């Protein structure tokens, strides 16, 4: 019988244990697969899109044999991972939370999977997601809605719903997701784990499901900041197959991650981000600032330029580019979409080209003003992720709600501005609300400053215990 206690290790701890041959890759893979099968199915968390058991165990055996011969492939050698079911692998179908893609073999392998393969990781499963990555709540009428491991009556958040639930429940050691309007940070916050949205263009989207090519970002969800850093280091960097990727050198984020925050300026926004936030959430997020103060950071109030439009502009761009990406299926297979997804994509067809072009034109000007005012005053901006406690699945089922658009806009109030501006941001757990569900804050920084974000987030994590809390299952 597999020893599921192995699953309680963080990714960093597991990778070190495998390298030192205290734990074999086969043992870790068997433990993760056993836990996935026991807790991840439709009768429990419903976070699995597919298991790759035979392939995973074969790779694990090969990884152990390579270590015996003194050959380690990379920093993730032999570590089992699972990812949002939107990263293609040659010859395998990735359903992307849909009926349409359910049986379509991939014609290529995603760049991020190639890089994790090169780092020595083993992919053991595909994890559930919102249909075509279009939605913040986690609801999926087509493939089923995953449950929050802290309380299965509550949402996981989306669209990286399965990765957040699986990482929080200790079913997997880490996962990749995507973030177009908050789809890494929102579910990470709802499930009490860490989620990093890198700078737009820092990580290749080649071979990943496209939704909005000017906003889509790929990043990690993991139990700790260090685990996110380890995954980020493996996947970041230029890829000529994705013309949106930057040629900027990726720093070694692991080297300085324990460097602390003494002298770092942590900005508290004077406006916008806290405007609709419930008092309970605002209190927990505000209390996290005390840790930064205690470790020598300067907490400063920061003026925020008028960015209210960035929330709705993100929705406009996503709808327009999403509709364009789905045009062939909207014409031939409209009946195979869930009603909420179909409604949002069809709405995108009705947006005038002039409005879309104007939205993209505003992006550069808003980013310039935001960077000049905010990052002249601080090194990282501190803000909430969610505006209130994690809601139940029932009360947030807004697919047929006439207030759908307003509800979606409110949910992404704190996350979407950083997508529109292309800025890096990280969600970090900081406590629990009265309903027993996790709370989180996020830090954002100037473009390509992921090393600063990770160092600041790791300082908070090192001084607190929230990342060590695990749901009882």
* Distance between CA atoms of residues 127 and 48, nearest Å: 5
* Distance between CA atoms of residues 240 and 188, nearest Å: 30
Which residues 6+ apart lie within 8 Å of 331 measured at CB? Answer: none
Which residues 6+ apart lie within 8 Å of 194 measured at CB? Answer: 188, 221, 222, 223, 224, 225, 227, 228, 426, 427, 428, 429, 457, 461, 467
Tokens matching residue 256: 């300085």
Helix 339-349 to helix 309-325 angle (10° resolution) is: 100
Helix 11-19 to helix 25-39 angle (10° resolution) is: 150
> Chain-centre distance of CA 456, in angstroms?
18
Residue 94 known to be catalytic: no
Residue 159 known to be catalytic: yes
How many C-beta atoms surround the C-beta of residue 472 within 10 A?
Answer: 5
Per DSSP bridges, beta strands 174-178 and 80-84 are unpaired
> Chain-centre distance of CA 255, in angstroms?
23
Q: Which residue out of 24, 159, 178, 214 is catalytically annotated?
A: 159
Q: Which residue out of 10, 183, 204, 214 is catalytically annotated?
A: 183
Residue 42 phi, psi (nearest 5): -65, -20
CB 199 within 8 A of CB 448: yes
* Distance between CA atoms of residues 57 and 62, nearest Å: 9
Residue 84 known to be catalytic: yes
Q: Cis (ω within 30 of 0) for the bond into 159?
A: yes
What residues are annotated to the active site? 84, 159, 183
């Amino acid at each position: 019988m597999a020893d599921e206690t192995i699953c309680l290790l963080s990714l960093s701890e597991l990778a070190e244990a495998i390298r030192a041959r205290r734990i074999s890759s086969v043992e870790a893979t068997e433990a993760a697969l056993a836990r996935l099968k026991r807790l991840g199915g439709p009768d429990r968390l419903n976070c699995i899109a597919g298991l790759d058991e035979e392939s995973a165990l074969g790779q694990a055996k090969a990884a152990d044999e390579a270590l015996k011969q003194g050959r380690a492939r990379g920093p993730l050698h032999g570590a089992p991972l699972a990812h949002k079911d939107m990263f293609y692998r040659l010859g395998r179908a990735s359903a992307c939370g849909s009926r349409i893609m359910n049986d379509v073999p991939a014609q290529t392998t995603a760049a991020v999977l190639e890089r994790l393969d090169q780092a020595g990781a083993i992919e053991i499963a595909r994890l559930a997601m919102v249909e075509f990555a279009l939605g913040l709540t986690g609801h999926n009428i087509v493939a089923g809605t995953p449950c929050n491991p802290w309380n299965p009556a509550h949402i996981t958040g989306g669209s990286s719903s399965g990765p957040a639930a699986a990482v929080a429940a200790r079913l997997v050691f880490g996962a990749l997701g995507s973030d177009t309007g908050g789809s890494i940070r929102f579910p990470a916050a709802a499930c009490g784990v860490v989620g990093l949205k890198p700078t737009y263009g820092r990580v290749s989207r080649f071979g990943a499901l496209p939704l909005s090519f000017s906003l889509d970002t790929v990043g990690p969800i993991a139990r700790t900041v260090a685990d996110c850093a380890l995954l980020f280091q493996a996947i970041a960097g230029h890829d000529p197959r994705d013309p949106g990727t930057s040629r900027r050198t990726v720093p070694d984020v692991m080297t300085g991650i324990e460097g602390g925050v003494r002298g770092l300026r942590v900005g508290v926004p004077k406006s916008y981000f806290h405007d609709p936030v419930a008092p309970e959430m605002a209190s927990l997020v505000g209390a996290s600032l005390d840790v930064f103060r205690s470790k020598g950071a300067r907490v400063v109030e920061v003026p925020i330029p008028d960015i209210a439009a960035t929330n709705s502009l993100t929705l406009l761009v996503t709808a327009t580019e999403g509709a364009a990406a789905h045009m062939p299926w909207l014409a031939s297979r409209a009946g195979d979409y869930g009603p909420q997804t179909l409604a949002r994509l069809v709405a995108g067809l009705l947006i005038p080209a002039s409005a879309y072009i104007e939205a993209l034109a505003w992006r550069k000007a808003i980013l310039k003003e935001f960077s000049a005012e905010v990052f002249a005053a601080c090194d990282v901006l501190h803000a909430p992720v969610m505006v209130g406690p994690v809601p139940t699945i029932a009360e947030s089922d807004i697919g047929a709600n006439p207030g759908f658009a307003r509800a979606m806009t409110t949910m992404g109030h704190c996350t979407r501005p950083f997508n529109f501006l292309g800025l890096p941001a990280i969600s970090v757990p900081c406590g629990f609300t009265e309903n027993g569900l996790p709370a989180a804050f996020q830090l954002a920084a100037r473009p390509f400053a992921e090393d600063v974000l990770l160092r600041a987030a790791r300082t908070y994590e090192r001084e607190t215990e929230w990342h060590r809390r695990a749901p009882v299952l």
